[in-house]
Structure 1
Amino acid sequence: MARRLHPLLLALTLLVLPAAVAADQKSPALDGLFQRLKTAASPAEAKPIENAIWDLWHHKGVEAVDRTMALGIVAASQGDLRRSLDYFDRVVRAAPDFAEGWNKRATVYYMMGDYTASVEDIRRTLALEPRHFGALSGMGLIYDALGDAEAAVKVWEKALEIHPHMETIRNRIRELRSGAKGNPT
């Protein structure tokens, strides 16, 4: 149960990360932020950079889309995944070029146990924003839940190339490699 609870908490955390500005994955500020994230000396130094990236990703800059995103996040945080899914369905229909809309819907599908739909939306997210370490982390969670440790480690290593200070992911890779939990790679 503890192993299952942890990925759900991580998924919920990814769903409700802070957001404050209008931009999305096309913001010119992202290149510099990703460079700083990659070279940050510690998790403490990386955290505000990570938050700035999430802030830029989180809002499309279109009032109706941003409002619907916010409603979807609230519904998910209240455990109403069906309602949350409905909101994120609206987001991706209204803004199919908005990576975070796909990522949020992927997270809800993951929380509902619909890994196939989640993977499809993660792929859409990554097609729009290949540096989306949250989507890569989610893909790893799915592989891990399905017992495919090798695939989980591979995708998490890609995420760590982008964001080297995701300690939870780094620790899970160590666990899988040592055979402490799940299948060793």
Structure 2
Amino acid sequence: MTSALPLDPVFQLVLEAPTRVPGRDLPRILAGLFQELALSDPPRPVEEIEDRIWTLWGSHEDRVAEETLAAAVEAIGSGSLKKARALLDYLVAQYPGWAEAWNKRATLASIEKRDADSLLDIAQTLRLEPRHFGAIAGFGNICLRHGHLNEARAAFQIALSINPHMDDLRDMLENLSPHHLMLH
């Protein structure tokens, strides 16, 4: 049922990601963090920059929203997927402008192999936060799962252009290179 996947509109958002302007609600400090992250040798540890970005993505002015997201992440981690789904459905309904709520719901849908749902949530994540290298990598992984190698390759390259320090993605990209594929 590959044809049922809404790949094209999401792929378009992935391709446009580097040129799109992030949502106004995102903390301004992110811009500097992304500039730092793009350096091949940033002035501080990459993990520190990445952690700061993920923390800002996961933060919300409403503390209850933030705690609910944390509870959803915990539920995913412990395998309580139904509970996580209820929490994330609530969050995207209550806070439709919060990119990280959409991203976490996309992650859950991907874990549950509901790839069409995951793609729709990735699209919403990228409309709000085009720099979301996690969502872009997630799109690439779904493409890979369905044999769309060119789209996966493009997505991984774009994710790496935003965050060049994702070594696992670099390895996957290496394995997707046409030269490498011919050897197998």
Q: TM-score, normalised by structure 1?
A: 0.81
- Structure 1 spans left out of the alignment, 5+ residues: 1-23
SS in 2 for 1:102: helix
Equivalent residue, structure 2, for 1:9: none
Contact preservation (8 Å) 1:110, 1:142: yes
Alpha carbons of structure 1 residues 159 and 69: separation in structure 2 relative to 1, 3 Å: same
Which whole-Å CA distance do the structure 1 matches of 2:153 and 2:47 have between them?
22
Equivalent residue, structure 2, for 1:128: 128
Contact preservation (8 Å) 1:25, 1:129: no
Alpha carbons of structure 1 residues 90 and 37: separation in structure 2 relative to 1, 3 Å: same
Shift of residue 70 of structure 1? 1.4
Alpha carbons of structure 1 residues 74 and 62: separation in structure 2 relative to 1, 3 Å: same
Shift of residue 92 of structure 1? 0.5
Which whole-Å CA distance do the structure 2 matches of 1:128 and 1:146 have between them?
26
Equivalent residue, structure 1, for 2:154: 154
Equivalent residue, structure 2, for 1:106: 106
Structure 1 residue runs of 4+, over 2 Å off? none
Alpha carbons of structure 1 residues 180 and 78: separation in structure 2 relative to 1, 3 Å: farther
Which whole-Å CA distance do the structure 2 matches of 1:86 and 1:59 have between them?
19
SS in 1 for 2:45: helix
- Deviation per CA, 1:13-38, whole angstroms, max 9, x where unpaired? xxxxxxxxxxx961011010000000
Number of aligned residue pairs: give it: 158
Alpha carbons of structure 1 residues 62 and 164: separation in structure 2 relative to 1, 3 Å: same
Which whole-Å CA distance do the structure 2 matches of 1:63 and 1:47 have between them?
25
Shift of residue 45 of structure 1? 3.0
Q: Percent identity?
A: 34
Shift of residue 46 of structure 1? 1.8
1:179 to 175, 178, 181: 181
Equivalent residue, structure 2, for 1:142: 142
Equivalent residue, structure 1, for 2:56: 56
Shift of residue 40 of structure 1? 3.9
Q: TM-score, normalised by structure 2?
A: 0.81
Equivalent residue, structure 1, for 2:87: 87
Equivalent residue, structure 1, for 2:71: 71
- Structure 2 spans left out of the alignment, 5+ residues: 1-23
Alpha carbons of structure 1 residues 47 and 180: separation in structure 2 relative to 1, 3 Å: farther
Alpha carbons of structure 1 residues 89 and 180: separation in structure 2 relative to 1, 3 Å: farther
Find out whether 1:34 has 2:34 as its counterpart.
yes
Q: How does 1:5-44 map to 2 (within 5 A)?
A: 26-41=26-41
SS in 2 for 1:179: helix
- Deviation per CA, 1:119-161, whole angstroms, max 9, x where unpaired? 0000000000000001001000100111111110101111111
